[in-house]
Amino acid sequence: MKHFITLVLLAFAMNYGYSQSNLPNGDFENWYNIIVNPSLNYDELGTGPTENWISTLNSLAQVPPSLQGPGPVTVFKTTDKYSGTYAAKGVSALFQLGQIPIFIPGMIGTAVMDFAGIRALLGKPCANCKPLRFKGFYKFEPVNGDSCAAIILLSKWNSTAKKRDTIGYGRMVQKSAVNTYTQFDIPVNYTSSEVVDSMTLLVVSSAGVNFIKFMESQGQVGSTMYVDELTLEYAEGIQQVLMPEVAVHIFPNPATDILNVELSKVVKGGSFEIYSAGGKLIGSYQVSTEKSSLPVYSLPNGSYYFRLMEGKSILNTGSFVINR
């Protein structure tokens, strides 16, 4: 049985070296229908426009005829699934803008379409994220030697250079047909100890897509990728809330003796739990107001995780560093 988790990733796997966690709607059980006009409608991931951490490029179907629309629908709800009721089916297509054919892959993940720039805007805010692996189940039906791909990218905005710095990256490319659901398992290679602020997850039915210059993308029309059960894996005891109920701002980070915690709203009976990098609970503090200052002078230098709790409910998670 699959478990749809809207706000948080799945809880600890008790007897394993790592804990595996479901992405919000990573099992593709929730879809909602968008009606463009009486003769055109399409399915989109989630339960509404603001309730979809992962999404598609199907909004191209809303491009009006005056702008040479509608664009193609490239991701579909399907009952050809690995488990549960539904999976996602991505099919590569062309979008003919006048004399210019733009190749659009079947794309599922943290990307939305920028119509003005004819490009995909990648990534979702994910403060302090540090997953170890990106996993999922897929099938692939290539056309004329095409390839599909699954990608995870962790990054941080560099305010000095005015660009994003890559903190961690992993990729899988499949160049031949996969006829039965098979698991991909992508380790994340971290090249920096900087704190992540954004995560990009993508699965695409054609791997030659250019996310910056869409008109330079390559692939074959009709290449099809089925996807189900997308998950992230963290170190044992660690969880990550991707759609938090309460925003948490911690500073300074790195901290020395005091860690200041600011919440976007009061949490009745709230507690702030601190865990070691290995997932061991170190301490728990009451945070009954929007602003708290917590003593961390006894903690050795290193990385730590936190959970904001309301009773047994996890409202937010993140990490911080002690460096004296």
Region of 38 please: left (phi>0), alpha (psi -120 to 50) or beta: alpha
Task: Please say whether the beta carbons of 47 and 55 come within 8 A.
Answer: no
> Would you state the pLDDT for residue 114?
67
List every span in the chain annotated with CATH 2.60.40.1220.
248-322
* CATH 2.60.120.890 placement within the chain: 18-235
Residue whose structure tokens are 């993308």: 217
What pLDDT digit, counting tens, does each position of 44-103 carry? 999 888 778 899 999 999 988 887 889 999 999 999 999 999 999 999 999 987 778 889
| Superfamily of chain region 18-235 | BT2081, beta-jelly-roll domain (2.60.120.890)
How many angstroms separate the CA atoms of 252 and 163, rounded? 23
Q: Residue 167: name the closest of 128, 209, 121 by CA.
A: 128
Q: Which residues of 133-149 are buried (b: 16+ CB within 10 A; e: fewer)?
A: bbbbbbbbbbeeebbbb
Tokens representing residue 216 in the block: 């330079």
Pick the CATH number of 248-322 from 2.60.40.1220, 3.40.50.970, 3.40.50.880, 3.10.129.10: 2.60.40.1220
Supply the pLDDT for residue 118. 60
The amino acid at residue 48 is G
Average pLDDT value for residue range 167-176: 96
- Tens of pLDDT, residue by residue over 105-124, are 999 999 876 666 666 678 88
Say if residues 146 and 176 touch (Cβ distance below 8 Å): no
| Residue 173 dihedral angles phi and psi, to the nearest 5° | -125, 130
Q: Decide if 243 contacts 7 (C-beta within 8 A).
A: yes
Sign of CA dihedral 199, 205, 210, 215: negative
Residue where the block lists tokens 């804990």: 19
Output the average pLDDT for the chain. 86
